[in-house]
Amino acid sequence: MGLRIGALVVDAHDPGRLARFWAEALDWVITHDEDPEWVVEPPEGSREDCVVPDLLFIKVPEPKTFKNRLHLDLRPADQATEVARLEHLGATRTDVGQRSDARWVVMADPEGNEFCVQSAHPAHVQARWLQRYEAYQPAQT
């Protein structure tokens, strides 16, 4: 059996606030909600469950000071609608020096952690991805 990434760890001044933001943004669930650690995971039984890493928010005393070296890319079906939804949840648009003609929108979560909202894949790529996604069956252990 290969190595699996268990969690992507995010330092946070207020881990509960970030966990609630990301749970809502990704339509995931909070499975641990006590400082100093909050965990956000895909819903049990979903195709993402046990496949993608959980998000683990750890309380730290210092604020974020520099641009992230690692960030999430989201790829919704409708970029503009998703950007508006994320802004409603508390995300903000931010500039990290991206090209002015970029096809993605750089945003920051409520503590300033950058992430990107990509444009949708072309229809033929989306169709292939959806076919593979729907055909996925987790290995039985």
Q: Which domains does the chain have, with CATH numbers?
A: 7-135 (3.10.180.10)
* Burial of residue 59 (number of CB atoms within 10 Å: 0-12, 13-18, 19+): middle
Residues of the chain with pLDDT > 90, as a percent, come to: 61
> With 70 as the cut, is the pLDDT of residue 54 above it?
yes
The pLDDT-based confidence of 48 (bands split at 50, 70, 90) is confident
pLDDT digits (tens, 9 = 90+) for 95-133: 888 888 888 999 999 999 999 999 887 778 778 877 887
Quick one: average pLDDT of 42-65?
90
The pLDDT-based confidence of 1 (bands split at 50, 70, 90) is low
pTM: 0.84
The pLDDT-based confidence of 140 (bands split at 50, 70, 90) is low
Quick one: average pLDDT of 40-57?
90
**Residue 127 has what pLDDT?**
81
> With 70 as the cut, is the pLDDT of residue 38 above it?
yes
Quick one: average pLDDT of 21-36?
96
> With 80 as the cut, is the pLDDT of residue 45 above it?
yes
